[in-house]
Amino acid sequence: MADTTREPILEVRNLVKHFPLTQGIVFRRQVGAVRAVDDISFTLYPGETLGIVGESGCGKSTVAKLLMNLERATAGEIFYKGEDISKLSGRALKAVRRNIQMVFQDPYTSLNPRMTVGDIIGEPFDIHPEAAPKGDKQARVRELLDVVGLNPEYINRYPHQFSGGQRQRIGIARGLALNPEIIICDEPVSALDVSVQAQVINLMEKLQDEFGLSYLFIAHDLSIVRHISDRVGVMYLGKMVEIGSDAAIYDHPTHPYTQALLSAVPLPDPDAREGRERIILTGDVPSPANPPSGCRFRTRCWKAQDRCAEELPLLAVPQRYADADTAVAHDSACHFAEEKPQVTHA
Amino acid sequence: MPDQNLTGTRSTAPVAEVAQAEAGPPPGKPRSLWSDAWSDLRRKPSFLIAAAMILVLIVIAAFPGLFTSASPRDADLSGAFLRSPELTKFFSPEWFGYDSQGRSVYARVIYGTRASIVIGVSVTVIVLFVGSLVGMIAGYFGGWVDAVVSRIVDTFMGIPFLLGAMVILVSFDVRGKLVITLALAVLGWTTIARVMRGSVISVKQADYVQAARSLGAGTWRILLRHVLPNAMAPVIVVAMVALGGYISAEATLSYLGIGLADPAMSWGSDINTGKDQIRVALHVLIFPSIMLSGTILAFLMMGDAVRDALDPKLR
């Protein structure tokens, strides 16, 4: 379980990523920017799983790429154990990469089809010779295959000989090879069948207990995120709109967007369905190249008032619940944050 | 769900069982795209015919003396001037008749093979190497590197292939195989560079390249281990088809008199010799032409078959 009294292992402060939109072929000029990630802050504690949810295009995957330094942040800082890693390069960046690894969304494209499983899982050791096992590299690769529940005899096979779930296990084994402290999972199960999803999620939980990993778990499936996460952050159009413990987000959501999302989760129990109010949002997600003023969600929000267009709501504990001692007192970026009990499950 | 026990137990054994039950890969030899392609090709008649023809041509080019006892330069003007072919005398010097200088057409066809094959293969090798390197650099690094390289490629592409080769060759006094090879390579590398650039651009976006970057892999490791092996297939196909084109270009230049010329032997220059007696002695023209067309056809068929085998959309 998360130990929030300790120092955070990863701290993100005011992270911004704008992708420039250019025009012209010979003389390029910037005509605007897609604000994929706009001023996001959160922390990750050792041994914790932070889930990040949000619909397609809200900037979840960009956050993952920024944390992995696959994209350079436009502004903001990423602190790993107190050191800002967002501006590192060369040797220093390579050293940090040993400790932060990633599991990719699509197991069909994240493994090089021309390499054997042994080469794929062993590649981290070739890149970081100082982290390679002293003796037999093959033995370590076999051990990793065993850890993720694959037959070590598969070491000489190629990725296309495996099913989706098995491939994702290979991807996880590659991520584990360097003994990282943080694993960033960018929708690690959304490309898998439902039955296989559970196996992979359970494997990830087991590995977390075994190696004390911290996960940043990005997904759009609310039930899976609830299952694996200690804390959950909800993103909308490049902004974090609500963040808190999983009980706070799932049982006491105060942001209207979170409430709308949760009201759309299918419920297996018909009686519970009866008493629930479904919030149907109208309209589309606005373009991140030209987001609405003030609150980003105001164009689709049933609570929107003039104030929402003028003033950007800050991500903080709402005034109304400032003295509350329950899970309802968590950060929510809404001027009119309020619980709406009839939308949550159960 | 059978996997509920996963969280409860520390032992990895049950996990392994579940994972294997999840449709394990069939036992047997490891298969890759190339081995899949190979097993596909082995069952294709067009590939087998083309491969056999190319094999024979390579043996002829390497050891022409095995196929004929006659010398292609022995001229018996008084005895054999434009003598007609004796089509039943297989592999004898008289088989394809004699040309206007009394030389055995069969011997000349055999000895002319080497020029075509050597020039075709060496141009392809040079073009593959240079084009792949340039295309890979442009595609992978992008930005201004790509802009500069692509404009250079566009400039070369703007030069008509044969016209350009003629202009280059005319400026040389002695035109041997090396000069012709270099002239064709200088004009030919752009096709490969373009294909490679496009292929690299599509491969470098792949998640496995991102995964290698996130592991901290250096540029060369990414290029050589991840990008190049996955970007190679379309380039190989284009190169195989182009090989036939280079052979035909060499013959065209030799026919026009600015490629290989006597005493060097080439089907193109023999066709040129034959065209003057076309009404009285068609055989002088027809046999080198058949060999030339057959050779080009073999390489085109090979390229076609390999493309079908490597094209993932047909799988």
User: pLDDT tens-digit profile of A155-192?
Assistant: 888 888 888 889 999 999 999 999 899 999 998 888 88
**Residue listed under structure tokens 């089907």:** B267
- Does the pLDDT value for residue B9 go beyond 70? no
Tally C-beta pairs within 8 A across A and B.
120
Contacts of B208 in chain A (CB under 8 A): 109-113
From A70, A115, A146, residue closest to B214, measured CB to CB: A70
- Touching check for A60 and chain B: CB below 8 Å? no
d(CA A57, CA B249): 52
Instruction: Give CA–CA dist B263/B56, Å, rounded.
Output: 25
CA distance A246 to A53: 12
pLDDT digits (tens, 9 = 90+) for B235-257: 988 998 899 999 999 999 999 98
Contact yes or no for A237/A205 (Cβ under 8 A): no
Report the candidate in A76, A126, A81, A115 with the shortest Cα–Cα distance to residue A100. Answer: A81
3-state SS, B183-223, equals HHHHHHHHHHHHHHHHHHHHHHCCHHHHHHHHHCCCHHHHH
Distance from CA of A47 to the nearest CA of B (A): 16
Q: What is the mean pLDDT of residues A298-314?
A: 89
> Considering only CB atoms, which chain A residues are within 8 Å of B225?
112, 115, 123
Measured CA to CA, the distance from residue B84 to residue B284 in angstroms comes to: 9
Q: Would B309 be classed as within a structural domain?
A: yes
Nearest CA to A157 out of B26, B14, B226 is that of: B26
User: Shortest Cα distance from B106 to chain A (angstroms)?
Assistant: 47
pLDDT at site B90: 85
What tokens does A333 get?
């970026």
User: pLDDT-based confidence at B181, cuts 50/70/90?
Assistant: very high
User: Using CA atoms, how far apart are residues B286 and B138, in angstroms rounded to an integer?
Assistant: 45
User: How is residue B205 written in tokens?
Assistant: 């976006």
pLDDT digits (tens, 9 = 90+) for B291-312: 999 999 999 999 888 888 886 5
pLDDT at residue B264, rounded to an integer? 86
Strand, helix or coil for residue A143: helix
Can you give the pLDDT at residue B127? 96
**Which single residue is written with the structure tokens 């970081």?**
A128
Nearest chain B Cα distance for residue A125, angstroms: 10
What is the amino acid identity at position A134? Answer: K
Q: Are B127 and B192 in contact (CB under 8 A)?
A: yes
Domain encompassing residue B171: 36-314
Summarize the confidence of residues B171-179 as an average pLDDT. 89
Residue A306 token pair? 């003039």
Q: Which residues in chain A are closer than 8 Å to B26, comparing Cβ atoms? A: 161
Q: State the CATH number of the domain containing residue B60.
A: 1.10.3720.10
pLDDT at residue B289 greater than cutoff 70: yes
Show which of residues 207-246 on chain A sit within 8 Å of chain B, judged by CB atoms. 210
- Cβ neighbour number for residue A8 with a 10 Å cutoff: 18
- Torsional sign, CA A85, A86, A90, A93: positive
How far apart CA B197 and CA B182 sit, in angstroms, is 22
Contacts with A169 from chain B: Cβ below 8 Å: 19
- What value does the mean pLDDT take over residues A241-246? 91
Assign A340 to helix, strand or coil.
coil
Q: Helix, strand, or coil here: A91?
A: helix
Residue B25 forms part of a structural domain: no
DSSP assignment of chain B? -GGGHHHH---SHHHHHHHHHTTPPPSSS---HHHHHHHHHTT-HHHHHHHHHHHHHHHHHH-GGGT-SS-TT---HHHHTTPPP-TTSTTSTTTT-B-TTS-BHHHHHHHHHHHHHHHHHHHHHHHHHHHHHHHHHHHHH-HHHHHHHHHHHHHHHTS-HHHHHHHHHHT-SS--HHHHHHHHHHHHHHHHHHHHHHHHHHHHTSHHHHHHHHHT--HHHIIIIIIHHHHHHHHHHHHHHHHHHHHHHHHHHHHTTSSS-TTS--HHHHHHHHHTTTTT-THHHHHHHHHHHHHHHHHHHHHHHHHHHH-GGG-
- Residue A49 phi, psi (nearest 5): -115, 120
**A97: left (phi > 0), else alpha (psi -120 to 50), else beta?**
alpha
Inside any domain, residue B29: no
Q: Is A206 helix (H, G, I), strand (E, B) or coil?
A: helix
**pLDDT band at A11, cuts 50/70/90?**
very high
Q: Which residues of B touch A128 (CB under 8 A)?
A: 215-216
Query: Is B15 part of any domain?
Result: no
Q: Which two tokens stand for residue A283?
A: 């309209």
pLDDT at A28: 74
Q: Is residue B291 one of the residues assigned to a domain?
A: yes
Residue B108's pLDDT is what? Answer: 92
Going from the C-alpha of B37 to that of each of A77, A224, B308, B312, the distances in angstroms are: 49, 40, 9, 10
Report ipTM (2 d.p.).
0.83
User: Residue A315: is its pLDDT beyond 80?
Assistant: yes
Domains in chain A, CATH or no CATH each? 10-253 (3.40.50.300), 254-346 (no CATH)
Residue B92 maps to a domain: yes
Q: What value does the mean pLDDT of chain A take? A: 87
Phi (first) and psi of residue A97, to 5 degrees: -60, -25
Instruction: Sort B140 into a burial class: Cβ within 10 Å, 0-12 / 13-18 / 19+.
Output: buried
How does pLDDT run across B18-37, given as a tens digit for each residue? 444 444 444 444 556 677 78
Measured distance CA(A48)–CA(A196) in Å, rounded: 23
- A158: which DSSP letter? -
Partner-chain contact A198 B217, CB within 8 Å: no
Residue B1 lies inside a defined structural domain of this protein: no
Nearest CA in chain B to A206: B7
**CA separation for the pair A202, A188 (Å, rounded):** 12
Note whether residue B244 is domain-resident: yes
Quote the mean pLDDT of chain B. 85
- Specify the number of domains making up chain B: 1
A179 lies within 8 A of chain B by CB: no
Q: Are B292 and B255 in contact (CB under 8 A)?
A: no
What is the Cα–Cα distance from A43 to A78, expressed in whole angstroms?
10
Query: Across residues A259-272, what is the average pLDDT?
Result: 83
In this complex, do A162 and B25 lie within 8 Å of one another by their Cβ atoms? yes
Is the per-residue pLDDT at A268 higher than 60? Answer: yes
Higher-pLDDT residue of A221 and A327 is A221
Distance from CA of A151 to the nearest CA of B (A): 6
pLDDT of residue B191: 93
d(CA B162, CA B168): 10
- When pLDDT is averaged across residues B209-220 and rounded to a whole number, the result is 90
DSSP-derived pairing of the beta strands A100-103 and A182-186: parallel
Q: Which of residues 141-170 of A touch B (CB under 8 A)?
A: 146-151, 154, 156-158, 160-163, 165-166, 169
**Residue of chain B whose alpha carbon sits nearest to that of A106:** B207
Whose structure tokens read 């081995």? B35
Which residues of A fall within a CB distance of 8 Å from B207?
A: 104-106, 109-110
pLDDT level of residue A136 (50, 70, 90 thresholds): confident
Residue pair B120/B114 in contact (Cβ under 8 Å)? The answer is no
Residues 256-285 of A with CB under 8 A from B: none
Residues of chain A neighbouring B216 (CB-CB closer than 8 A): 93-94, 97-98, 127-128
- Give tens-digit pLDDT for A59-114: 888 999 999 988 889 999 999 988 899 888 888 888 888 899 999 988 888 999 88
Q: What is the mean pLDDT of residues B39-44?
A: 86
Q: Could you tell me which residues come within 8 angstroms of residue A301 by beta carbon, excluding any fewer than 6 positions away? A: A256, A257, A295, A308
A182 alpha carbon, distance to own chain's centre: 12
- Which of B1, B19, B216 lies closest to A127 in CB terms? B216
Looking at CA atoms only, how far is residue B92 from chain A in angstroms?
50
CA-nearest of B167, B162, B156, B238 to B198 is B238
Q: What's the mean pLDDT in A293-311?
A: 89
For residue A181, the surrounding DSSP H or E stretch is none
